[in-house]
Amino acid sequence: MASERYNAPVREKHWQQVWTENGTFRTNEKSKKPKRYQLEMFPYPSGRIHMGHVRCYTLGDVMARYMRAKGYNVLHPMGWDAFGLPAENAAMERKVHPRQWTQENIDTMRAQLKAMGLSIDWEREFATCNPDYYVHQQRLFLDFLKKKLAYRKTAKVNWDPVEKTVLANEQVIDGRGWRSGASVEQRDLTQWFFKITEYAEELLSALDTLEATWPDFVCTQQRNWIGKSTGANMRFALDGGKLPKKLAALDVFTTRHDTIFGASFMAISPEHPLAQHLAAKNEALAAFIEECRRIGTTEEALARAEKKGFDTGIVAVHPFKPDVKLPVYVANFIVMGYGTGAIFGCPGHDQRDLDFARKYGRPVVPVVLPPGADPNTFSIGAEAYVGDGTMINSEFLDGLTIEAAKDKIADLLEERGIGERKVNYRMRDWLLSRQRYWGCPIPVIHCDKDGIVPVPVAELPVKLPEDVTFDKPGNPLDHHPTWKHVPCPKCGQPAVRETDTMDTFVDSSWYQFRYTAPNAPTPTDKKALKYWAPVDQYIGGKEHAVLHLLYARFFTRGMKATRHVEIDEPFASMFTQGIVVHETYRSENGDWLTPADVRFEGDGANRKAVSAATGRPVEIGPIEKMSKSRKNVVDPDDIIAHYGADTARLFIVSDTPPDRDIIWTEAGVAGAGRQVQRISRIIDDIAARNPVKGGAPRPAAFGPEADALRRAAHKTLNSVSQNIEGLRYNVAVAQLYELTHALSGALEKSSAAAQDPAREGLDWAIREAAELYVLMIGPMLPHLAEDCWARLGYNTLLADQPWPEVEAGLLVDDQITIAVQVNGKRRDELTIARTATKAEVEAAALKLETVARALEGRPVTRVIVVPQRIVNVVG
RNA sequence: GCCCCAGUGGCGGAACCGGUAGACGCGCCAGACUCAAAAUCUGGUUCUCGCGAGGGAGUGGGGGUUCGAGUCCCUCCUGGGGCACCA
């Protein structure tokens, strides 16, 4: 009965076809089952899928298939994050239209994903670059505009003077444009923003409830990003020189208003209006400001190194001690974008202020006394004191705690009208304008008479023109001959379209809702959304911990305010997967080699690599994230063609916990491939020996062999279920392997002698265990499981089978083995009835010879018995 | 500098709520089958002392709480990630 080798590539194609023909994974919301929305971050269609995709979609698919079997109505969709710069780069480099390039990539990658055997409802697929999708995004934009969640203001941007375009921060390398190499300028341009700061407090406080189901680090990073600080605004009257009225007072934000009596100078940002005003008449100051600006964009390391200031000659009046005058400096370490761009310096209790004060000879007066310190001798040395304590040298604040002092000062500020309590956020509004072609057009028209006029909803979508060229620098939409010239919707006079397109993060901020009704005539369909939303389990990369997830959370709130959704949070539960890493290889002349170009000799410590082409030695480098530049990539297509998708999937879920980085190795893949064959063989064996389907009459009694196998199978079922639900797939796989051993052991016994009463019911138990086993591997190895299910005699689809039920009685054993410790050290073990009382366990333990020996004659002083766990004899 | 996460055999990793550390897999060693190899199967595999029975040590280092610590607390070290003059 030599079983044939399981031909995975052939069988997988077969089962994929069967699933497609049966519409197995199509979904709708007209089901009575509970819903489950499983989503993985959709891919950017860059050309071909990579192992990162394989990992992410495998992790999601295991959950989707498991939940489907558990009786949920599962939504598991796929689409394409299809706008973005690479398409325009391809257009420039290869003279291919972005749409064509994108579409070809989508077609390639869709085929690759289908070869993975994912349980996706492909009928819901969409690409964000199609007007069918972005028309709704334009509609959302207009609704946001109406609610003032979208607005325009001027902002500093990185301007590439050669390409005549705005660059993202990551496109600026050492102050130069990444493509042109030109020195990047800071320009003030009018840009579109989303008012994400409107929801700063809500986005922050809701993290408390997400904490239970989102990774800690994601919540922490979002908290830091939002950066709430509670303090006060404080107005200082200025003295000296003639200042225009609106510059006559200096507004300062501080979180340490308690330390106001320790203030010894003021500092303002080089970009502060007061600095700008003064620089107009002061060349030295202008030069200083120019120097700060240059350093700011080029050498951030240098900027960090030294605090520098420029004394303006102006002084500020201390709000509680009018005779104290504080000199106002322009200082390089004050950023305009935070607070008011101005501070009062309290060198005793802020390190930066201390560094500055020491350099410019300003007094350093401690105003907070550390607990236990002597007020007469306490002084500040090289380090500012930022800890807790009581107020000193602070007149009416003396003796108060920091908190009480803050309260008192805040009260006084408000009373006298020279300040107020203030909460500040680090987070800024979301700049969404991009001077690019391949993005969603912002649907507004600029009219000389009517200003900014929204494109009427009936005229949406504002489609991208297809006839564009990329041979000129700048935005193709801007120099298209006709596209932007339109009559004003209000007055009919000639007007121009907005030529900015949207940041691609906008596209991915609401796609999770669109999947619930991908063909709805409005952005969302109330009924479908109510049924499906929110996403129950979202899976994606750690790199999106802040921006994408925060933007999607903001969008959900914006869409609620504009009545497109009724929920606050888009993703009920979040999981971040680790990356795929691989060894790197370099030839003698330093070129990177792909794993396919390398041959290995020896193993263990003697493992060496040589070039497959030349036979010359190759250096095995560190394990790094798979990347084209390092060439340490493995093509998923090669793996699937050679071993099949199930092997790739098994490798992904074995050994490495899903949230950690996984090291891709050829040996590991081969190992997974062997497992696939092993499972196939065992099932063949069982199918041949126990041809009776699951409906065979259940024996009246089971002998010990059968009982043991049944217990093993049901215990495995129980824990595999829990481990899949907790995304501990690697542990689930290990437990399945254990059951493999139990099964093959039982098979051997069953074939040995049929008459042995110990083996009563064993054949039935083997059959049962095999069926449970095949059902359990379904989520991870869907094709193999389907194949085995058929071999076991079924003509139904395994994908349609419910997850099996555990027989609870088989989970608890009558006899259990517990450890016996003497003084906390394990000395023996004890097999005893599960229901044994503490006294019985104690008695049994004390009878053990090993215990007596370990006690070495000492009397027993105490015995700790934890029922069903352990017994510890102390003596 | 600040914040977060991680550190367990040769390797990936397991260990529920503090209760037999090292499940499972890879690798390695030995054996079976074979003319041989591949494939497959069986057994062994934390280190250390011992022929053996058995003993000792052991979860990055140090300290603590506890009958008992990989798990809790303090502290330090190493690696990874995030933020970075945020007032």
CB-strand contact A870/B, under 7 Å: yes
**With 0-12 CB in 10 A as exposed, 13-18 as middle and 19+ as buried, what is A208?**
exposed
- Give the tens place of pLDDT for each residue, A147-192: 999 999 988 788 888 777 777 666 666 667 766 777 777 788 899 9
Produce one character per residue of A458-469: b if its CB has 16 or more CB atoms within 10 Å, e if not: eebbbebeeebe
Q: Which residues contact A377 (CB under 8 A, 6 or more apart)?
A: none
CB A845 within 8 A of CB A796: no
Do the strands A325-331 and A265-268 form a parallel or antiparallel pair, or are they unpaired? Answer: parallel
Residue in the block written with tokens 């020896």 = A602
Helix H or strand E encompassing A190: strand A185-194
CB A845 within 8 A of CB A829: no
Round and report the angstrom distance from CA (A309) to C1' (B75): 40
- Where chain A has pLDDT below 50, the residues are 1-2, 297-303
CB-strand contact A819/B, under 7 Å: yes
CB-strand contact A846/B, under 7 Å: no
Give the C-alpha separation, A652 to A62, whole Å: 11
CB-strand contact A332/B, under 7 Å: yes
- Give the tens place of pLDDT for each residue, A14-44: 999 999 999 999 999 889 999 999 999 999 9
Both tokens of A154, joined, read 């001027």
Give the C-alpha separation, A333 to A310, whole Å: 12
CB A851 within 8 A of CB A817: no
Laid out side by side, the sheet with A451-454 consists of A451-454, A444-447, A494-497, A485-487
- Give the tens place of pLDDT for each residue, A412-443: 999 999 999 999 998 889 989 988 899 999 99
Give the C-alpha separation, A228 to A748, whole Å: 66
Q: Which is nearest to A741 in space by CA: A679, A810, A803, A805?
A: A679
Give the C-alpha separation, A319 to A261, whole Å: 10
Q: How many residues does chain A have?
A: 875
Predicted confidence at residue A304, as pLDDT, reads: 52
CB-strand contact A827/B, under 7 Å: yes
Query: Any idea which nucleotide's C1' is nearest the CA of A737?
Result: B24
Q: Which residues 261-290 of chain A have a CB under 7 Å from nucleic chain B?
A: 269
Q: Which is nearest to A431 in space by CA: A375, A503, A356, A341?
A: A503
Q: Give the angle subtended at the CA of A758 by the CAs of A757 and A761, to the nearest 5°.
A: 80
Give the C-alpha separation, A738 to A736, whole Å: 5
Predicted confidence at residue A167, as pLDDT, reads: 74
CB-strand contact A656/B, under 7 Å: yes
SS3 for A64-121, per residue?
HHHHHHCCCEEECCCCECCCCHHHHHHHHHHCCCHHHHHHHHHHHHHHHHHCCCCCCC
Give the C-alpha separation, A752 to A755, whole Å: 9
What type of residue is A200? A
CB-strand contact A33/B, under 7 Å: no
CB-strand contact A749/B, under 7 Å: no
CB-strand contact A733/B, under 7 Å: yes
Predicted confidence at residue A303, as pLDDT, reads: 45
Helix H or strand E encompassing A535: none
Instruction: For residue A415, count other CB atoms closer than 10 A to its CB.
Output: 9
Q: Which residues 165-224 of chain A have a CB under 7 Å from nucleic chain B?
A: 216-217, 220-221, 224
Q: Which residues 679-698 of chain A have a CB under 7 Å from nucleic chain B?
A: 681
CB-strand contact A734/B, under 7 Å: yes
CB-strand contact A146/B, under 7 Å: no
Predicted confidence at residue A169, as pLDDT, reads: 66
Query: Any idea which nucleotide's C1' is nearest the CA of A257?
Result: B87
Predicted confidence at residue A449, as pLDDT, reads: 94
The distance from CA A580 to its chain's CA centroid, rounded to whole angstroms, is 15
Round and report the angstrom distance from CA (A216) to C1' (B73): 21
CB-strand contact A603/B, under 7 Å: yes
Q: Which residues 404-433 of chain A have a CB under 7 Å from nucleic chain B?
A: 424, 426
| Mutual angle of helices A85-94 and A98-114, in 10-degree steps | 120
CB-strand contact A613/B, under 7 Å: no
Helix H or strand E encompassing A191: strand A185-194
Query: Any idea which nucleotide's C1' is nearest the CA of A744?
Result: B41
Query: Any idea which nucleotide's C1' is nearest the CA of A267?
Result: B87
CB A693 within 8 A of CB A790: no
Helix H or strand E encompassing A150: strand A150-160
Q: Which is nearest to A654 in space by CA: A590, A601, A732?
A: A732
Give the C-alpha separation, A602 to A461, whole Å: 62
Produce one character per residue of A663-674: b if its CB has 16 or more CB atoms within 10 Å, e if not: ebeeebbeebbe
Predicted confidence at residue A297, as pLDDT, reads: 45
Query: Any idea which nucleotide's C1' is nearest the CA of A334?
Result: B85
Round and report the angstrom distance from CA (A509) to C1' (B31): 61
Predicted confidence at residue A746, as pLDDT, reads: 87
> Which bases of strand B sit closer than 7 A to a protein CB?
3-5, 12-16, 19-21, 23-28, 39-42, 55-56, 67-69, 81-87
Round and report the angstrom distance from CA (A595) to C1' (B51): 49
Residue in the block written with tokens 């001027």 = A154
| Nearest residue, CA→C1' of B25 | A655
Q: What are phi and psi of A275, to 5 degrees?
A: -65, -45
CB-strand contact A576/B, under 7 Å: no
Q: Which is nearest to A647 in space by CA: A629, A634, A659, A660?
A: A634
Give the C-alpha separation, A547 to A98, whole Å: 25
**With 0-12 CB in 10 A as exposed, 13-18 as middle and 19+ as buried, what is A748?**
exposed
| Nearest residue, CA→C1' of B26 | A668
Determine if the peptide bond prior to A534 is cis (ω within 30°): yes
Q: Which is nearest to A166 in space by CA: A194, A142, A192?
A: A192
Predicted confidence at residue A302, as pLDDT, reads: 43
Q: Which is nearest to A431 in space by CA: A153, A204, A657?
A: A153
CB-strand contact A730/B, under 7 Å: yes
